[in-house]
Amino acid sequence: MIHKDPDWWRGAVIYQIYPRSFFDSNGDGIGDLPGITEKLDYVASLNVDAIWLSPFFRSPMKDFGYDVSDYRDVDPLFGALEDFDRLIERAHALGLKVIVDQVLSHTSDQHEWFRESRQSRDNARADWYVWADPRPDGTPPTNWLSVFGGSAWTWDSRRRQYYLHNFLSSQPDLNFHNPEVVDQVLSDVEFWLERGVDGFRLDTANFYYHDALLRDNPPNDAARQGGIGVRLDNPYAFQSHLYDKTRPENLEFLRKLRALLDRYPGTTSVGEVGCDRSLQTMADYTSGGDKLHMAYSFDLLTEQRSAEFIRHTVNTIEQSMDDGWPCWSIGNHDVERVMSRWGDAGAPVAQARQLMALLLSLRGSLCVYQGEELGLTEAQLAYEDLVDPYGITFWPEFKGRDGCRTPHPWQSGVPNAGFSDVKPWLPVPPEHHERAVSEQQADETSVLNSYRRFMAWRREHPALVRGDIRMLDTDGDVLAFERNYGNERLLVAFNLGSTPTRQDLGGDWQALKLPAAFNAGSLCPGGIELPAYGVLIAAPR
């Protein structure tokens, strides 16, 4: 594979597609790979650079594809390998790179490796997973907890041992301390490189290794006070996760993975990092040019959206990251949709445009989750409609991830908003019909067309794509920063509030004409004026 620019990923806009919910081409109520291929012209019209496909591998679907039973095959729900090859060919013809989701930390309990491993303590794959004897009183080997609730250990009567699972009990963790496991995982990654993929999104990239001494995690007393992103309905946050993830051995595996990717010039990697020190871990995992190309955390995927919080988050990563490269997202398949999480009452269209411009103006690469370009809000589902085991376990305080995974609305006024001819796997809420693609295509002021025009306009400004960033000290709801690259210098400012405001800023600036229907700010003597949800981008006069 030949890439004109091997660093195409720097500053790229990556559009995340959740295959189950994008488009159903065969009338079974579930989206599939041919359906994605059919809609790639739409994706290309957004002016994004790449697509990220959530897992489509063979799986029993207990965690909807994040429990892989065969790393080298497409689940029949989504099609076949030939369908994936056609998708790659069409995407490349449209100028779109293809990034696939790799779930390497764990497999399904239906994977042939685990089936063999659990049979005895002396078979060929006996040490491919994390097995441990019980404590003398029969309790689990450590106090480690599962993200999805309860102990991270499950007893297996055949081996008379516990096995580790950081998520569902049907998702046993691979033992990366075993060199055979590392070699096999890298071989499976290379299988997809040979099929022409342009990179990988690495699920739970800091979970690969566990503490070989099986030490207990200490308590996290700060969590009980209610920190950022901490859900007090789940005791997982009550531990400092020193020993069950983010282990130092992880860095060596990432170096091996990068060495493999470097044999395929122009490919890239973006790691998902979720831990107590996520911003520092992002910096550690992307430094030196020998590990991940980029990484993202959940820091902008929480309910915190104040100017102060965003400024602090960006400053923290910039101070930690010398030569690394961040990746930012404000929404994905694991969290409440941004227009419900950060949006004000009624999810104003002006605010949807502004949040898009904010994301696309940060230094780094950006991930846009399907439906954000339509300004979709979280679907409020009845308990009977839930399928996510995470939400079912913690209902009603936490309703799980189904509300952000409902089908993409293509056409208003038809059954299931044009996603499928039959009842879909999750219902389409009535309010999503009103924001369907068909309703926004012809409206020049729609969120959809604002996305298209701003993303095209962004490509014309190198400072927004690859420039450095310097956050400015501002008051109240105003977030402002400078972006610099080569001869281009830009001032970028946002009023995150719902009332007009004025901010004193130094410098002699000239406002640029924005390409979409934003609530545009203006310059005034000594500063700027911003309307509600206002946006201002300016260059030196």
Contacts 24+ apart (CB under 8 A), 216-222: 216/142, 216/143, 216/144, 216/243, 217/142, 217/143, 217/144, 217/241, 217/242, 217/243, 217/244, 218/242, 220/276
What are the tokens at 342? 């950060």
Cα separation, 489 vs 156, whole angstroms: 61
Active-site entry in 24, 67, 156, 272: 272
Reduced DSSP (H G I as helix, E B as strand, rest coil) percent helix, strand, coil of the chain, to 5: 30, 20, 50
d(CA 123, CA 153): 21
Distance of CA 318 to the CA centre of its chain: 20
Sign of the torsion formed by the C-alpha atoms of 356, 101, 50 and 91: negative
- Phi then psi for residue 41, to 5 deg, are -60, -40
Is residue 272 annotated as a catalytic residue, yes or no? Answer: yes
Tell me the Cα Rg of the chain. Answer: 23
**CA–CA distances in Å: residue 17 to residues 52, 79, 210, 327, 474:** 6, 16, 30, 17, 36
Q: Are 176 and 253 in contact, with CB atoms under 8 Å apart? A: yes
Phi, psi of 537 (to 5 degrees): -125, 125
Could you say which DSSP state residue 374 is in? G
Instruction: State the number of CA atoms in the 13 A half-sphere of 242 facing the CB.
Output: 9
Contact between 437 and 445 under an 8 Å Cβ cutoff? The reply is no
Query: How far is residue 538's CA from residue 521's CA, in Å, rounded to a whole number?
Result: 10
Q: To which residue do tokens 């650079």 refer? A: 49
Active-site residue, 156 included: no
Helices and strands in the chain: count of H runs, count of E runs: 15, 22
Q: What's the CA dihedral at 44, 268, 105, 66 to 10 degrees?
A: 10
Catalytic residue among 32, 75, 198, 203: 203
Q: Which residue has the tokens 């919910």?
A: 21
Q: How far apart are the first and last CA of the chain?
A: 44
Nearest-angstrom CA–CA distance, 124 and 493: 59
The Cα 107–Cα 233 span in angstroms is 27
With CA atoms as reference, report the closest residue to 429 among 392, 449, 402. 402
Instruction: Say how far apart CA 351 and CA 354 lie, in whole Å.
Output: 5
- Look up residue 129 and give its DSSP letter: B
State both tokens at 14. Answer: 């990556």
In the numeric block, which tokens belong to residue 511?
């406002």
**Among all residues, which ones are annotated catalytic?**
203, 272
